[in-house]
Structure 1
C-alpha cells in the first residue's frame, strides 16, 4: 500500500499538531452520513455532516451537525448573526468550497467561512467528520476541531415536533 494521500483538512490538522485518525471506506460516489457511519463503524451519534449555507448578506457559513439531524435554518441564522440563511445548491458545492458533495470537510475549504458545530459534539471525546474526499472520514477531538476551524458550538438543529 502506498503512502496515505493527504487532503487539505489533514494538512491543516497536521500543521496545527492536532491528532486525528483516518478512516477510509469503499465508496465511488456520494452516500449519506448514515451509510458512511455504517461503512466506517463510527457511532452514528458521534458522526457529523458538514453543510454550507448562504446568508441574506451574501456570506457563506458552515454548519457541522449530527448526521441523523436536520439543520434549523432559523437557529443557524441567529447563531451567525444573519436575518436568514439557506442551503447552497448541490451544484455550487465545489465552486464555493473546493470539495465535492459527500467529501466536504469543515476544514480546508477554499476560504475560511464562519463555522458552527452543533453543541452535542462537546459531549464526546471525539467526533467523526469528512476527511475532505469521498471515502475518507477523520476522527478528531471536537474542541481541537473547533479551534482549528475557528468554530463555535451552538444549538442549530431542528427539534422534533
Structure 2
C-alpha cells in the first residue's frame, strides 16, 4: 500500500502531538462537494466537515466549518463572529488568502490564522473529518483538539432543516 503523502495539516498536527487518522478518496473535478467526499469515504455527511471562508464587514476574513450536507446560515455566522454581515469569499480569492484551493481547504494551516467557528454539532463525535489540505485526503481528528489548536469557537452555524409533513413546510 502506498504511503500517505504528508500534508502541511498533518505536519502541524504531528508537531502539536495531536492524534489523527487519515482517509483518502477519489475526488472528481466535477463534484468537489463534501457530500461527495463523505460518500467516497463511506462516512455520514454529518461527520465530514467542509471549510467555508467568508468576509465579515467588521472583522475581515472569517472561517466556518460545518457538516458537508448543511448550508451556512449567514445571519448566525455574522452574529457569532461579531459582524453585521458576512459574505462567502469568491473561489478565485481562496488560494491567495488561505493557501488552499476549493475542495482542499482546511481550517488548519492557512497562510494566516483567521477567526474560526465550528458548528456545535461536531461535539457529538469523537472525531470529525476535515480536509487534510489537498483534494482527496482527509484527517479525522477530535473536534476539541482542532478548536484548541486554531482557537476556534463552537456555535450553531447552519440553516434549520425543513421537514415536510403532509405536503406542508413546517
Is TM > 0.5 for Structure 1 vs Structure 2? yes
Q: Does 1:23 align with 2:19?
A: no
Q: Which residue of the partner structure matches residue 69 of structure 2? A: 68
Q: Which moved more, 1:136-145 or 1:54-63?
A: 54-63
Once the two structures are superposed, residues 87-107 of structure 1 have per-residue CA deviations (whole angstroms, 9 ceiling, x without a partner) of: 000111111110010000110
CA distance in 2, matches of 1:60, 1:14: 27
How many pairs does the alignment contain? 161
Structure 1 runs, 4 residues or longer, greater than 6 Å off: none
Q: Which moved more, 1:20-29 or 1:80-89?
A: 20-29
Q: Which runs of 5+ in 2 are unaligned?
A: 163-170
Q: Which residue of the partner structure matches residue 165 of structure 2? A: none
* TM, length-normalised to structure 1: 0.94
Once the two structures are superposed, residues 8-61 of structure 1 have per-residue CA deviations (whole angstroms, 9 ceiling, x without a partner) of: 211111111001111111225352111101111122211110000001126100
Q: Which residue of the partner structure matches residue 107 of structure 1? A: 108
* TM, length-normalised to structure 2: 0.90
Alignment of 1:67-106 (within 5 A): 67-106=68-107
CA distance in 2, matches of 1:67, 1:119: 14
Larger relative contact order, structure 1 or 2 (CA cutoff 8 Å, min sep 6): 1
Change (3 A) 1:93 1:85: same
Q: Which residue of the partner structure matches residue 153 of structure 2? A: 152
Do the aligned residues in 1 keep the contact of 2:9 with 2:108 (CA within 8 Å)? yes
What's the secondary structure of 2:108's corresponding residue?
coil
Once the two structures are superposed, residues 60-95 of structure 1 have per-residue CA deviations (whole angstroms, 9 ceiling, x without a partner) of: 000000111111111111111111110000111111
What's the secondary structure of 1:106's corresponding residue?
coil
* Structure 1 vs Structure 2 CA RMSD: 1.4
